């Protein structure tokens, strides 16, 4: 294949203008030749014989007249066994190996193989000579950690093929020719365990896209009960700096009931990324008892790296997620934070001299964000199995302003909004998700009528609390004050969790349902409390009992004893259920 070439005619930061000799495609990869270095770049705009390219390296030293070599290939990732446990940069270079080769400071123009070439994989064939196959059909499997990794027909193969040669079961490296298939014209196509796929093209080798209906259990009560996320759904976590976005993502990645977690640190501060890299290999996976890294991939592109690589890291991560979805697995992808990616788009748009939109972000910001989140979803594969990609992105609005363009563009496309509050984080309330501002379009593990009742209590309690700031406690009726105490009770015993407590840090569905039903009885009851001091003392004591109850092992003797004491306190002052609560209890 003839490859085009070009000459640099302009440099503007990490954007380089190239005069092209030949033809090039949008998103094609090219290399700027600088001394003995070759700097990887991507074509982002074509005008006649001139192309603009974003460079994934620092462009110091690049000048007019430097030669450019185009590859004829789109920006792509390598797919195959060996992805799990890896820590990559945005271009899928393994960072630990890169550090070994380059030392403390990473060098420009060094690109390594994404997958280990020397490792042997125990291959088991699933098809035989003479079988007909199409794109994404399984040729065989290899064990990868706790999963059976499917070796598939490359996704770009159109039409039907016939297996001409099939390797027998054995131990091979990923470059070994495991099969040869023949197309309809009789051409032979050799296959190995790996292949490449363009990161900006969604993988769509499935039979049907399904509606996300099954909840993704995070074991965070506030999320699972009030603002649930569906497997294959989308959600966002906007919040100001220091409100706990990264911590919440890490807790979710550890306890969520998914098969694989992919973290894309697309421009976060290096300190937070280093913390993730240090902690994840040491964390124990509650599901397997092994290291959490065995089912995790980390894409690391800190805010100190070139801005163009932020975009590459986002698309690399979602492509890897779609790849494992093709194996019938449930994948959780966590980009942190998409605001840094949007800022990189704004910087590049300015250098392209495009007409700016709101706050100088590109006019196409909404469509790009929507296109990214649309790559989530639940799919039925050709063999009938179900796989999903769930995307939960954090957003870092300046000053915690949720009205800014990136947050608003994200809210238009996601299915759940977990807005973090500066007020709650400053009060050390974890998670700091605001229970009144947040929302979800998905169904959770608790009856929606009951959760709506609890939210009404929270709303009314907040109104009373605001009123008390003006008129004081003495200017509030006893009925309103009890509503305020109930709202406060919900917040402390259910919305907040102690992430340092081995029991309360992660709460399963069965326990959540059981505890919420007890909570519902408490907030839905009338009480024989005529004095505010008496009411405050009663609910404070009940709250402490409930916190001890939350820290007790599920169905242990202590759990039963704590519940018994709570019910005794409850029965002493309860005078009956409120009408709305009574109706919901009868329905349940």
Q: Is 70 helix (H, G, I), strand (E, B) or coil?
A: strand
What is the model's pLDDT at position 200? 95
Residue 442 CB neighbour total at 10 angstroms: 19
* 363-386 mean pLDDT: 96
Q: Tell whether the model's pLDDT for residue 582 goes beyond 90.
A: no
What is the model's pLDDT at position 155? 95
What is the model's pLDDT at position 568? 95
Residue range 124-180, pLDDT digits in tens = 999 999 999 999 999 999 999 999 999 999 999 999 999 999 999 999 999 999 999
Q: What is the mean pLDDT of the chain?
A: 92
Annotated binding residues:
239-246
Q: How far apart are CA 503 and CA 489, in angstroms?
A: 20
Q: Report the share of the chain in percent with pLDDT over 90.
A: 78
Residue range 224-278, pLDDT digits in tens = 999 999 999 999 999 988 888 888 888 898 899 999 999 998 877 666 777 777 7
Q: Are 136 and 205 in contact (CB under 8 A)?
A: yes
Residue (of 217, 291, 300, 294) closest to 252 by Cα position: 217
Q: Measuring CA to CA, how many Å separate 351 from each of 267, 345, 347?
A: 19, 10, 6
Annotated binding residues for ATP:
239-246
Residue range 53-111, pLDDT digits in tens = 999 988 889 999 999 999 999 999 999 999 999 999 889 999 888 888 877 777 888 89
Residue range 431-468, pLDDT digits in tens = 999 999 999 999 999 999 999 999 999 999 999 999 99
Extract the tokens encoding 290: 């092994």
> pTM above 0.85?
yes
Residue range 27-40, pLDDT digits in tens = 999 999 988 889 99
* 306-323 mean pLDDT: 90
Residue range 548-561, pLDDT digits in tens = 999 999 999 999 99
Looking at 93-97, 268-272, 337-341, 396-400, which range is the least confident one? 268-272
Residues 6+ positions from 70 with CB-CB distance below 8 Å: 3, 4, 5, 6, 20, 22, 24, 28, 29, 30, 43
Q: Tell whether the model's pLDDT for residue 306 goes beyond 80.
A: no
Residue range 178-233, pLDDT digits in tens = 999 999 999 999 999 999 999 999 999 999 999 999 999 999 999 999 999 999 99
In the chain, the domains with their CATH numbers are: 5-74 (2.40.10.170), 86-101+208-437 (3.40.50.300), 121-193 (2.40.50.100), 448-587 (1.10.1140.10)
What is the model's pLDDT at position 308? 78
Q: Tell whether the model's pLDDT for residue 483 goes beyond 70.
A: yes
Residue (of 369, 347, 296, 328) closest to 44 by Cα position: 347
């Amino acid at each position: 294949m003839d490859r085009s070439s070009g000459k640099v005619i302009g440099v503007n930061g990490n954007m380089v203008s190239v005069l092209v000799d030949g033809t090039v495609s949008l998103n094609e990869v090219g290399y700027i030749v600088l001394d003995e270095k070759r700097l990887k770049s991507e074509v982002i705009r074509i005008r006649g014989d001139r192309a603009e390219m974003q460079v994934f390296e620092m462009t110091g030293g690049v000048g007019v007249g430097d030669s450019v070599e185009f590859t004829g290939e789109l920006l792509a990732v390598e797919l195959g066994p060996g992805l799990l446990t890896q820590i990559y940069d945005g271009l899928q270079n393994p960072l630990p190996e890169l550090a070994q080769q380059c030392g403390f400071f990473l060098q420009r123009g060094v690109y390594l193989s994404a997958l280990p070439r020397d490792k042997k994989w125990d291959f088991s064939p699933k098809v035989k000579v003479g079988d007909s196959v199409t794109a994404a059909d399984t040729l065989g499997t290899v064990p990868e950690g706790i999963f059976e990794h499917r070796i598939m027909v490359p996704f770009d193969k159109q039409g039907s093929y016939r297996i001409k040669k099939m390797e027998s079961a054995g131990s091979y490296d990923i470059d070994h020719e495991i099969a040869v298939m023949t197309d309809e014209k009789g051409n032979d196509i050799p296959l190995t365990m790996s292949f490449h796929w363009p990161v900006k093209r969604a993988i769509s080798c499935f039979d049907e896209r399904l509606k996300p209906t099954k909840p993704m259990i995070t074991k965070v009560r506030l999320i699972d009960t009030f603002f649930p996320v569906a497997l294959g759904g989308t959600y966002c976590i906007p919040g100001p700096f220091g409100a706990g976005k990264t911590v919440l993502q890490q807790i979710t990645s550890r306890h969520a009931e998914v098969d694989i977690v992919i973290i894309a640190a697309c421009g976060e501060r290096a300190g937070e990324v280093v913390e993730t890299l240090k902690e994840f290999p040491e964390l124990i996976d509650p599901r397997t008892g092994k290291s959490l890294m065995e089912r995790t991939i980390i894409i690391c592109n800190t805010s100190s790296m070139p801005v163009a690589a932020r975009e590459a890291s986002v698309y690399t991560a979602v492509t890897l997620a779609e790849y494992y979805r093709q194996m019938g697995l449930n994948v959780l992808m966590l980009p942190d934070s998409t605001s840094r990616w949007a800022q990189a788009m704004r910087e590049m748009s300015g250098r392209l001299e495009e007409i700016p939109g709101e706050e100088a972000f590109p006019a196409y910001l909404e469509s790009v964000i929507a296109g990214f989140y649309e790559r989530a979803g639940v799919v039925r594969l050709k063999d009938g199995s179900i796989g999903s990609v769930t995307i939960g992105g954090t957003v870092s609005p300046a000053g915690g302003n949720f009205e800014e363009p990136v947050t608003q563009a994200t809210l238009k496309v996601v299915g759940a909004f977990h807005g973090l509050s500066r007020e709650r984080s400053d009060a050390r309330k974890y998670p700091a998700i605001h229970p009144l501002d947040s929302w979800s379009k998905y169904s959770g593990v608790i009856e929606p009528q009951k959760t709506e009742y609890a939210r009404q209590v929270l709303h009314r309690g907040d109104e009373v609390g605001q009123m008390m700031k003006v008129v004081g406690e003495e200017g509030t009726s006893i009925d309103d004050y009890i509503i305020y105490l109930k709202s406060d009770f919900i917040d402390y015993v259910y919305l907040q969790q102690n992430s340092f407590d081995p029991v309360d840090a992660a709460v399963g569905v069965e326990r959540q349902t059981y505890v919420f039903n007890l909570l519902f009885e408490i907030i839905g009851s009338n009480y024989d409390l005529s004095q505010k001091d008496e009411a405050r003392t009663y609910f404070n004591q009940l709250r402490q009992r409930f916190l001890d109850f939350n820290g007790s092992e599920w169905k242990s003797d202590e759990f039963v004893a704590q519940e018994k004491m709570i019910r005794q306190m409850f029965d002493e002052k309860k005078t009956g259920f409120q009408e709305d609560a009574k109706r919901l209890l009868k329905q349940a």
